[in-house]
Amino acid sequence: MANIHSQKKRILRAERERLENRRYTSTIKTYFRRLETAVAGGDDAQADADHRVLVQTIDKAVKRGALHRNTGARKKSRAARVRVGGPAA
């Protein structure tokens, strides 16, 4: 445990930021699974809605720094392939 006051604050801040990043990544995984389920079930309207929310969430995570921009681009590309009905990477 740190003895310096500013380091104690930094540890608390890092924990808050880590949890925020995990919320983004968890949400992205959840929407990707929902997208795959909707496409497999043939529900086009639901797949469109899930894809839209997924792409928005990925963009926010990249802007926020929770994901690297190349990782975000890769995830959006895979989501688009799933949406079209191609191989699910």
> Could you report the per-residue pLDDT of 30-40, keeping only the tens digit for each?
999 999 999 99
**How confident is residue 2, by pLDDT bands cut at 50, 70 and 90?**
confident
3-state SS, one letter per residue, for 15-31: HHHHHHHHHHHHHHHHH
Predicted structure pTM score: 0.84
pLDDT at 84: 84
pLDDT at 88: 56
Q: 């997924």: which residue's tokens?
A: 54
Q: What is the CA radius of gyration of the chain?
A: 17
Question: Structural domain boundaries of the chain?
Answer: 21-84
User: Integer distance in angstroms from the first to the last C-alpha of the chain?
Assistant: 43
